[in-house]
Amino acid sequence: MGTGRDGTRVELGGEGLSALPAADRAWLAASIDALLPALGTPVSRAAVEVVRDARMQALHARHMGLDSTTDVLTFAQNAPGAPVDADIAVCVDEAMRRGAGAPHGARGELLLYALHALLHACGHDDRDEASYRRMHAEEDRILEAAGFGRLFEAGEAAP
């Protein structure tokens, strides 16, 4: 990816991209750009690294102390209220597992993970049930505003 219409720098990379067909990589890049106007917070830079399980497990262990893979990790570089400046890791293997039974598939899962990370960088949290529901409602609002419809499964349990 490159510089968006408004000067936003969004970068998509990582060794996990090779697990996706070229059409899905292009769709993901364009779709992340399409979400930004509805985010409500300016984004100066977002580097989205698509990783496999082994890399995500290493990141999860290093930064969260958990020896397991996960769907997404957000490393916000911005101060609260400032334009988003974030490094994001999304796990393509987890997206393939979760997306296998969903109508939106792995690429929709990856889009949801990227949006989730952007919202964390904007200051949203999902550590308790109330904040979890607010954050996922905001995901749905943004996805609908950008023309994707709701991707988050409303039946998923809160942490």
Q: Quick: pLDDT tens for 4-39.
A: 445 567 899 999 999 999 999 999 999 999 999 999
For the chain, give every domain's residue range: 9-145
Strands (E), the chain: 9-13, 43-51, 72-76, 84-91
Q: Quick: pLDDT tens for 47-102.
A: 999 999 999 999 999 999 999 999 999 999 999 889 999 999 999 999 999 989 88
13: number of Cβ within 10 Å: 12
What is the model's pLDDT at position 151? Answer: 75
Please identify, in words, the CATH class of the domain defined by 9-145: alpha beta
Q: Percentage of the chain with pLDDT > 70?
A: 90
Amino acid symbol at 129? E
- Kindly state the tokens that stand for 44: 């100066």
